[in-house]
């Protein structure tokens, strides 16, 4: 397909400035809604109390309403005796009798203070004398009271006509409580901006529809709709549309009729099959920016129809969500009457050396872990097409346009994703395995949080040596001793036995040749594994000096190897038996290996590590579950 280049790739800040100059991001108009729907909304006008709160002088205690001067001089040894009026004041009832000098009236908490009284004596400071032949009951007051004691006077909380909330306030449960206290059942709020969302592309299918090779489920529609709602917008997902120029024109113009902002996902790279930018370019003024010096997110298209913002986000999920938060989210927040969101940042050291592309501002997703020296930022990798990278990342690092290499251990600023940096109960850095997911699930059922960072066995072992994790899953074969894992431990580490799993060569089910025949056929393409992975050690031993086609193809997981073979991008690879079975592939075993855990000695008795050790005890329910999946106990 013939491709045309971007018209002009410009700096991120300049792109935002150009776009903001032509759009209207002012708060939308006001609407009046029931109080029960007001939580999280933004007030559109000042609110004044139309009643006093409290609306009457009321008691804060169970006790007796009195004239304070009648109690002066009262003491435990010499109590003051007051006559008890023939009335008891519960809540919700107006008193009828005046408290005259020398008298008191029984009153409940919240009861309306009777005329004549100016204080309440708590019941615990009194004793009752029963009525005698000469007269009625009396109350013995053993402590003096001052005027206003244990009383809330009318209007002391909020007075009639007082401004109790100001326009622009975001309504939390505290503010809605204030509104309820002054009797407001409806409130004027800023209308939520209506955001129309269209997913586009011939390759898009909706969740629940039939899948076939070459298609992808539409995650962007869901991500963007919920992201809009999270920041105060009214998301309206209009569906997915094929790459048909007339259909796109029709759907876009329909969206523009009833929206404050329109988002399209995909179709930004200016190929002949990507029509969004062409259709948006037909608007007036149309495309303002097409191409920003960002990674991920370079193809973003910022446009307008009149003053109405229109954005074509990249199709890859991470690119889409990054550019959404950088450019679109601040506009939606402004339209919703919300202030600019403060982004929390923390200082950390980069755990691994990272290369960047000169000329583009790069956003590097990272996971944060804590060691004795402070925070470490582990690059998440996976690229702009990853759905999970953004969901699992703790934050991101901005790498400047003129930086090509960020060295390991360099100090970086991490902009947080989310408000709180949750400290996990167990940090796991190393090789990933389907069995590890089972273990993490078992720990989660015990209420323990687990952070998993898949960096390979060698990377995990290095992290354990530096004290950056609680355990490092490893499956490293020592060629000299022909033993797994234990030869790689140093004095600061202990080995927690995990399980054995079978590694082998995987092919499609119609392949009948043995491993030697596969290696001898130069027409077959392999799929390798990443350097630093335990499986890569086994592959290198298998190949020796041979370098079959596909040797340079190095995905980072057994699942990726199985997918490459199943989808015929490769003819064979090495993966574990459990993954091969799930993918319906033929499996030829090479050798069993030990998948164990290197644990820093200083962390051996941490609660989460102890919980894991208990879970891995012989004959435990977790052991039985692992064995049912083909993961047998380590010998």
> CATH top-level class for 345-416?
mainly beta
User: What pLDDT is recorded for position 6?
Assistant: 47
Predicted confidence at residue 379, as pLDDT, reads 87
- pTM (2 decimals)? 0.76
Q: How far apart are CA 494 and CA 610, in angstroms?
A: 13
Longest Cα–Cα distance of the chain, Å, equals: 120
Helix (H, G, I), strand (E, B) or coil at 495: strand
Homologous superfamily (CATH) for 58-152? Molybdopterin biosynthesis moea protein, domain 3. (2.170.190.11)
3 state SS for 517-551: HHHHCCCCCEECCCCCCHHHHHHHHHHCCCCCCCC
pLDDT of residue 633: 86
Task: Tell me yes or no: is domain 425-635 CATH 3.40.50.150.
Answer: no
Which architecture, in CATH terms, is 30-53+156-190?
Alpha-Beta Complex (3.90)
Q: How would DSSP label each residue in 547-576? A: --TTTT---SSHHHHHHHHHTTS-SEEEEE
Looking at residue 263, what is its pLDDT?
Answer: 95
Alpha carbon distances (Å) from 240 to 187, 203, 265, 546:
36, 10, 9, 47
pLDDT tens-place string over residues 109-167: 999 999 999 999 999 999 998 766 666 789 999 999 999 999 999 888 888 888 889 99
**Nearest Cα to 187, choosing from 44, 52, 40, 53?**
44
- CA-to-CA distance for 262 and 248, rounded, in angstroms? 13
Q: Which residues contact 300 (CB under 8 A, 6 or more apart)?
A: 15, 268, 289, 290, 291, 292, 294, 311, 312, 313, 314, 319, 323, 327
d(CA 273, CA 254): 22
Domain map (residue ranges) of the chain: 12-26+192-335, 30-53+156-190, 58-152, 345-416, 425-635
Give CB contacts under 8 A, 24+ apart, made by 171-180.
171/38, 171/39, 171/40, 171/41, 171/42, 171/43, 172/39, 172/40, 173/39, 175/43, 176/35, 176/38, 176/39, 179/35, 179/38, 179/47, 180/35
Rounded Cα gap, residues 267 and 459, in angstroms? 38
DSSP code for 269: S
Instruction: For residue 290, give the nearest of 538, 15, 578, 474 by alpha carbon.
Output: 15
Instruction: Pick out the chain residues at pLDDT < 50.
Output: 1-6, 269-273
For the 12-26+192-335 domain, the top CATH level (class) is: alpha beta
Paired strand residues for 3: 271
Q: Which residue in this structure is represented by tokens 């991490």?
A: 414
Residue 5: per-residue pLDDT: 41
């Amino acid at each position: 397909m013939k491709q045309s280049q971007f018209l002009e790739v410009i700096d991120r800040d300049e792109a935002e400035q150009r776009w903001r100059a032509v759009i209207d991001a002012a708060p939308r108009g006001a609407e009046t809604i029931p109080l029960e729907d007001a939580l999280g909304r933004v007030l559109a006008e000042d609110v004044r109390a139309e009643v006093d709160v409290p609306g009457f002088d009321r008691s804060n205690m169970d006790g007796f309403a009195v004239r304070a001067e009648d109690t002066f001089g009262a003491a435990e040894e010499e109590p003051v005796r007051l006559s008890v009026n023939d009335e008891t004041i519960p809540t919700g009832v107006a008193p009828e009798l005046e408290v005259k000098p020398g008298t008191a009236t029984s009153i409940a908490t919240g009861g309306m203070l009777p005329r004549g009284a100016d204080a309440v004596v708590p019941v615990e400071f009194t004793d009752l004398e029963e009525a005698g032949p000469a007269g009625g009951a009396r109350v013995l007051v053993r402590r003096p009271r001052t005027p206003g004691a244990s009383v809330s006077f009318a209007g002391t909380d909020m007075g009639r006509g007082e401004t109790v909330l100001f326009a622009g306030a975001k309504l939390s449960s505290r503010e809605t409580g204030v509104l309820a206290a002054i009797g407001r059942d409806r409130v004027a709020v800023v209308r939520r901006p209506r955001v129309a969302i269209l997913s586009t592309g011939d390759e898009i299918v909706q969740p629940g529809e039939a899948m076939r090779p070459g298609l992808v489920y539409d995650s962007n529609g869901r991500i963007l709709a919920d992201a809009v709602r999270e920041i105060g917008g009214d998301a309206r997902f209009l569906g997915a549309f094929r790459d048909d120029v007339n259909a796109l024109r029709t759907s876009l113009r329909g969206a523009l009729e009833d929206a404050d902002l329109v988002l399209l996902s995909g179709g930004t790279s200016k190929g002949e099959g990507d029509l969004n930018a062409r259709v948006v370019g037909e608007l007036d003024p149309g495309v303002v920016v097409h191409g920003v010096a960002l990674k991920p997110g370079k193809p973003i298209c910022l446009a307008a129809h009149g003053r109405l913002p229109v954005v074509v986000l990249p199709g890859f999920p991470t690119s889409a969500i990054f550019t959404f938060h950088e450019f679109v989210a601040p506009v939606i927040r402004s339209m919703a009457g919300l202030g600019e969101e403060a982004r929390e940042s923390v200082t950390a050291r980069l755990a691994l050396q990272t290369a960047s592309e000169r000329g583009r501002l790069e956003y590097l997703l990272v996971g944060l872990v804590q060691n004795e020296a402070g925070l470490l930022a582990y690059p998440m990798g996976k690229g702009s097409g990853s759905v999970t990278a953004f969901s699992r990342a703790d934050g991101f690092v901005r790498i400047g346009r003129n930086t090509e290499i960020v060295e390991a251990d360099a100090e970086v600023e991490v902009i947080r994703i989310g408000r709180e940096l949750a400290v996990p109960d167990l940090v796991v850095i190393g090789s990933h395995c389907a069995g590890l997911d089972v273990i993490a699930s078992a720990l989660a059922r015990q209420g323990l949080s687990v952070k998993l960072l898949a960096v390979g066995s060698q990377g995990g072992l290095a992290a354990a040596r530096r004290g950056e994790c609680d355990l490092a899953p490893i499956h490293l074969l020592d060629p000299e001793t022909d033993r797994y894992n234990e030869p790689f431990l140093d004095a600061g580490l202990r080995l927690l036995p995990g399980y054995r799993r079978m590694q082998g060569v995987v092919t499609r089910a119609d392949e009948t040749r043995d491993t030697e025949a596969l290696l001898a056929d130069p027409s077959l393409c392999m799929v390798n594994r990443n350097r630093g992975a335990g499986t890569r050690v086994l592959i290198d031993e298998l190949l020796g000096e041979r370098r079959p086609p596909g040797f340079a193809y190095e995905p980072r997981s057994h699942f990726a190897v199985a997918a490459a073979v199943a989808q015929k991008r490769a003819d064979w690879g090495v993966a574990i038996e459990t993954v091969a079975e799930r993918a319906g592939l033929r499996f030829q075993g090479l050798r069993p290996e030990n998948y164990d855990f290197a644990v820093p000695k200083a962390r051996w008795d941490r609660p989460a590590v102890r919980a894991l050790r208990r879970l891995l005890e012989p004959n435990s329910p977790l052991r039985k579950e692992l064995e049912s999946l083909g993961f047998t106990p380590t010998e």
